Structure 1
Amino acid sequence: MITLTFFNHKGGVGKTTLTINVAEALADQGLRVLMIDADPQCNLTAFYLREKDLDELLGESDDEDAGSTIWSAIKPVVDGKGAIKHVDAISVRKNLWLCPGDVLLADYEEELPAAWTGSFARKSRDYDVMCALSKAARGMGEHYQADVVIYDIGPNVGPLNRAVLLDSDYFCTPVAADLFSLRALTTVGRAVSRWINDWKTVRGLANDADRQQLLHGHPVYLGYATSAYKVSSGRTSTKPHEYWEGKIAPRVKSRVVDALRAIDPLLAPFPGSKLASIKDFHSLAPQAQEYGLAIGDLRGHVNSGYNAQIKEAAAEFTGLATTIRKRMGI
């Protein structure tokens, strides 16, 4: 079982869209995929659930008996009252499951800074809190015999995302073709490198038995995907996407790849960091959310005039999923 995260602390770069469409493409290829909504905003969960069902789910999530979100699973550990609770994932379709998110993950995030500090002091309680989300996600993955567990996370470099990244076997960076995404790459490289180095210290201080239970802290960088680019827009007289592509690639190398390789060359093993360019499919994205479908599966649900774009979307996400799969070695 492999864990994968799409991570960039800048919002609006298509993390959830990529999570959904790559997960669906991997499932189409026969892999068993579990999506974990680890974003307190619950955008991934809201994509697949009707508003009424989502309200009921979140309304019961703090109930020890009825709760069935990712928060329900880790709450006993965070509260110091027991072990991880098993919750059932939602079957989206063949080969694809969703563990629902929860706004109360914000409560877990509040506990993580103290648990991070306590982990340096080798406190078992703080180890448990730091690893709670990982144990819940991986336990659920084993239950459903998942080949891939994909985390969906929010746009920040906070303690919750730190715990997720340190549990990830691999991560990718979605990048928009603009100045703000370019600047955000510096933060991604710095943050992940610092987290890895600090957690290496935690693991080095732990005894052998505890070390076996801790987050492995070795997220391998697969590369970046430019998302939602427009074929012809912007003030640049020639092709604006190519203009930003020319700036993004060297920035990824200098601020992400080189930073990770300085710790361990195996953290960024791929000489070519670009995974794909996913174009802007305009109104198809909100229509996909309306139907709870991948963009490439909208044929027959929307106006037939969109069929060419739907086919193109299916091909692009399938290509991205295939590249990710090859780089992960599955």
Structure 2
Amino acid sequence: MRTLTFFNHKGGVGKTTLTVNVADALADQGLRVLMIDADPQCNLTAFYLDEKKLDALLGESDDADGGTLWSAIKPVVDGKGGIKPVDAYKIKNGLYLCPGDVLLADYEEELPAAWTGSFARKGRDYDVMCALSAAAREMGQRYEVDLVIYDIGPNVGPLNRAILLDSDFFCTPVAADLFSLRALSTVGRAVARWITDWKTVRGLASAESRDKLLHGLPTYLGYVTSAYKVSSGRISTRPHDYWESKIAPRVKNRVVDVLRAVDPTTVPFPSNKLAAIKDFHSLAPQAQEYGLAIGKLRTHVNSGYNAQILEAATEFSGLATIIRKRMGI
């Protein structure tokens, strides 16, 4: 079982859209995939569950029979035991969802102290740092999945730090705008610092404890670009090639080279670009309305969209194939 995260601390770059559509395509290719909604905003969970079901789920998540990611890790965070197995939602054959929870924000508040305590080799803090990983991997093993995909929020906070250090692989979605480019610098520096610091934690830990800790060495698969958009009230006439000419060297300088300096094994691929995904405009909200991947909308929307739907299915299937090959599954 492998773990994958789409990570960029800039919002609006399509992390949840990529998670939904790539996971759907991978399931179509025969993999068993578990999506973990690890963003307290719960956008991935809201994509699949209607408001009534989501409200009931979140309203009961603090109870003993709660069914969210928070419900699974709460006993560890509260110091009252190990993780509590919760059930995943079956989206379709081979595709599952672990629901998120706004109360993951409470877990995030505990993580800075647990991070510090891990340097002091405190078992309780090890447990807190690894709680989400333990819950995700237990569920993944129970549902016999090939891949766990984490959906996370747009930040470089302590929750995302714990998730990235648990990820076997990560990809960087990059929107075609200046702010997304600037965010790449933070991505590279943050991940490199987390890897370095966690190596220290693992080095200080006993051999017995080390086997239970986050492995702390995510492999960089590459970046995915989205098409240029309207920005600052002006329509951009610059072609996508213009942005690609800016993105490629920025990824190399601010992500790849920074990670390679820390550990060359984190950047094993000679090519950094995975794909360029178009902006499918109104099809994205329609996909959420039906809880479907964009490429599965054909019988649900006006036939005038069929060409775009087919294009989306082809693009996401191609991206899924590249990701699968780079992960070796």
TM-score, length basis structure 2: 0.98
The answer for the alignment partner of 1:47 in structure 2 is 47
Seen in structure 2, the aligned counterparts of structure 1 residues 309 and 236 have a Cα distance that, compared at 3 Å, is closer
Residue 283 in 1 paired to residue 291 in 2? no
Find the aligned partners of 1:325 and 1:309 in 2 and give their Cα distance. 24
Residue 304 in 1 paired to residue 320 in 2? no
Find the aligned partners of 1:281 and 1:254 in 2 and give their Cα distance. 30
Counting aligned pairs with the same residue, the percent is: 80
The answer for the alignment partner of 1:224 in structure 2 is 223
Seen in structure 2, the aligned counterparts of structure 1 residues 187 and 142 have a Cα distance that, compared at 3 Å, is same
The answer to whether the Cα contact below 8 Å between 1:225 and 1:276 also exists between their aligned partners in 2 is yes
The answer to whether the Cα contact below 8 Å between 2:284 and 2:294 also exists between their aligned partners in 1 is yes
Residue 33 in 1 paired to residue 23 in 2? no
Find the aligned partners of 1:228 and 1:3 in 2 and give their Cα distance. 27
The answer for the alignment partner of 2:273 in structure 1 is 274
Structure 1 residue 237 displacement after superposition: 4.7
Q: Secondary structure of 1:272's partner? A: coil
Q: Secondary structure of 1:282's partner? A: coil
Structure 1 residue 320 displacement after superposition: 0.4
The answer for the alignment partner of 1:22 in structure 2 is 22
Alignment of 1:1-330 (within 5 A): 1-64=1-64, 66-230=65-229, 237-239=237-239, 241-330=240-329
Deviations, residues 252-294 of structure 1 (Å, cap 9, x unaligned): 0001000111111110111110000000101000000000000
Find the aligned partners of 1:278 and 1:69 in 2 and give their Cα distance. 31
Structure 1 residue 227 displacement after superposition: 2.1
Find the aligned partners of 1:235 and 1:56 in 2 and give their Cα distance. 42
Find the aligned partners of 1:195 and 1:72 in 2 and give their Cα distance. 27
Structure 1 residue 228 displacement after superposition: 4.5
Q: Give the counterpart letter for 2:94 in structure 1.
A: N
Q: Secondary structure of 1:176's partner? A: strand
Find the aligned partners of 1:237 and 1:295 in 2 and give their Cα distance. 26
Q: Give the counterpart letter for 2:54 in structure 1.
A: L
Seen in structure 2, the aligned counterparts of structure 1 residues 238 and 152 have a Cα distance that, compared at 3 Å, is closer
Q: Secondary structure of 1:150's partner? A: strand
Seen in structure 2, the aligned counterparts of structure 1 residues 82 and 281 have a Cα distance that, compared at 3 Å, is same
- What RMSD, in angstroms, separates the aligned Cα atoms of the two structures? 1.2
Q: Secondary structure of 2:176's partner? A: coil
Find the aligned partners of 1:270 and 1:156 in 2 and give their Cα distance. 25
Find the aligned partners of 1:316 and 1:229 in 2 and give their Cα distance. 16
What is the aligned residue count?
A: 327
Find the aligned partners of 2:313 and 2:74 in 1 and give their Cα distance. 38
Q: Secondary structure of 1:270's partner? A: coil
Structure 1 residue 238 displacement after superposition: 4.5
Q: Give the counterpart letter for 1:50 in structure 2.
A: D
Find the aligned partners of 1:59 and 1:228 in 2 and give their Cα distance. 38
Q: Secondary structure of 2:281's partner? A: coil
Deviations, residues 44-97 of structure 1 (Å, cap 9, x unaligned): 000000000000000000001x20000000000000001110000000000000
After the TM superposition, list the runs of 4 or more consecutive aligned residues in structure 1 that deviate by more than 3 angstroms.
228-231, 233-238
Q: Secondary structure of 2:276's partner? A: strand
Unpaired runs of at least 5, structure 1: none
Unpaired runs of at least 5, structure 2: none
Q: Give the counterpart letter for 2:277 in structure 1.
A: I
Find the aligned partners of 1:144 and 1:55 in 2 and give their Cα distance. 25
Deviations, residues 305-325 of structure 1 (Å, cap 9, x unaligned): 000000000000000000000
Seen in structure 2, the aligned counterparts of structure 1 residues 248 and 70 have a Cα distance that, compared at 3 Å, is same
Q: Give the counterpart letter for 1:165 in structure 2.
A: L
The answer to whether the Cα contact below 8 Å between 1:174 and 1:226 also exists between their aligned partners in 2 is yes
Find the aligned partners of 1:4 and 1:13 in 2 and give their Cα distance. 17
Q: Give the counterpart letter for 1:325 in structure 2.
A: R
The answer to whether the Cα contact below 8 Å between 1:230 and 1:279 also exists between their aligned partners in 2 is no
Find the aligned partners of 1:195 and 1:69 in 2 and give their Cα distance. 27
Q: Which moved more, 1:141-150 or 1:261-270?
A: 261-270
Q: Secondary structure of 1:247's partner? A: helix
Q: Secondary structure of 1:175's partner? A: strand
The answer to whether the Cα contact below 8 Å between 2:228 and 2:236 also exists between their aligned partners in 1 is no
Q: Give the counterpart letter for 1:261 in structure 2.
A: R
